[in-house]
Amino acid sequence: MPAPDSPGPWPARLDVLQSATGLFLALFMWLHMLFVASILLGADAMWRVTRFFEGYYLFGRSLPWLVSSFVAGIFMLFVVHAWLGLRKFPGHWRQHAVFWRHMRDMRHGDTTLWLVQVITGFGMLFLAPVHLYIMMAHPDLIGPYESADRVWSGRMWPLYLLLLLLVELHAGVGLYRLAVKWLAVGGTARRRLMGLKWGFTVFFVALGLVTLGAYVRLGIEHAPHAGEPYVPTWQRSVS
């Protein structure tokens, strides 16, 4: 029988839920980056990826509501993960002061990484919902020209630039901390894991920057016709 003032099993259960949602979201973000980067293979390649997610190759026509439903699911996971994370934010100035003193005295890398998680997570709370809402409300406006127009003519690139840095830092540090916490990695393995973490972060930030550059370039070229959707090369009439 647990003591009357014992918190019971719930804090531990919520911890597992936070780790599980974090793991899913971090892996999703890496896949998302690869799909978005399909623009680097050409506009037709990105058009195919977009249609794939709209069920075009399965149902023979585009069903953008499929994308909206998927985005809604990701949005819900994001909210649950953020809510669980907020429990651990230092809420009072006194807690902030204790944390800063603790970090300064310990000079421990993993404690500093925790602060990186708090700051990047806090930033994403404001930026990610803007992007997610647009994707959910306008799933039919995803495509080579549609996305490039949003990035450049729709002035979304500064938000994406900031969000890219926040999300890749947060995902890399998050996965590292998950491995340390649940797989009890220590010693040399821990140092190797840290190297791997930085490798992934640098790779995805670099890929994100090159990809964003490609959307910006296409957006500038297409600006005089902003709003016109992309038509794949094989569907264009020869006149």
User: Which among 21, 123, 37, 30 has a CA at the least distance from the CA of 79?
Assistant: 21
Task: Please identify which residue in 150, 177, 197, 222 interacts with ligand HEM, judged by CB under 6 A.
Answer: 150
Nearest CB to ligand HEM, comparing residues 44 and 99: 44
User: Quick one: 84 or 185, whose CB is closer to ligand HEM?
Assistant: 84
Task: Compute the least distance from the CB of residue 60 to ligand HEM, in Å.
Answer: 22
Q: How far apart are the C-alpha atoms of 139 and 223, rounded to whole Å?
A: 21
Q: Vertex 173, ends 168 and 175: CA angle to 5°?
A: 95
- In angstroms, give the least distance from the CB of 186 to ligand HEM: 30
Least Cβ distance, residue 99 to ligand HEM (angstroms): 25
End-to-end CA separation in angstroms for the chain = 82
Decide if residue 164 touches ligand HEM (CB under 6 A): yes
Candidates 4-12, 16-24, 93-101, 162-170: pick the segment binding ligand HEM (CB under 6 A): 162-170
Contacts with ligand HEM: how many residues (CB under 6 A)? 25
- One DSSP character per residue, 184-235 reads ---HHHHHHHHHHHHHHHHHHHHHHHHHHHHHHHHHHHHGGGTTPPP--GGG
Residue 211 interacts with ligand HEM (CB under 6 A)?
yes
Q: Indicate which single residue of 71, 113, 169, 173 sits in contact with ligand HEM (rule: CB under 6 A).
A: 71
DSSP 8-class letter at 237: -
Minimum distance between the CB of residue 79 and ligand HEM, rounded to whole angstroms?
Answer: 11
* Contact status, residue 218 vs residue 148, Cβ threshold 8 Å: yes
Write the binding mask 124 to 143 for ligand HEM: x where contact by CB under 6 A, - elsewhere. x---x--xx--x------x-
For 70-89, b/e burial (b = at least 16 CB within 10 A) is ebeebbebbebbbebbeeee
Q: Does 171 bind ligand HEM (CB under 6 A)?
A: no
Q: What does the alpha-carbon distance between residue 211 and residue 151 come to, in Å, rounded to a whole number?
A: 11
Cα radius of gyration rounded to whole Å, the chain: 21
Q: Of the two residues 141 and 193, which places its CB atom closer to ligand HEM in the complex?
A: 141
- Residue number with the shortest CB distance to ligand HEM? 147
Does 120 bind ligand HEM (CB under 6 A)? Our answer is: no
Which parts of this chain interact with ligand HEM (CB under 6 A)? Answer: 32, 36, 67, 70-71, 74, 78, 124, 128, 131-132, 135, 142, 147, 150-151, 156, 160, 163-164, 167, 208, 211-212, 215
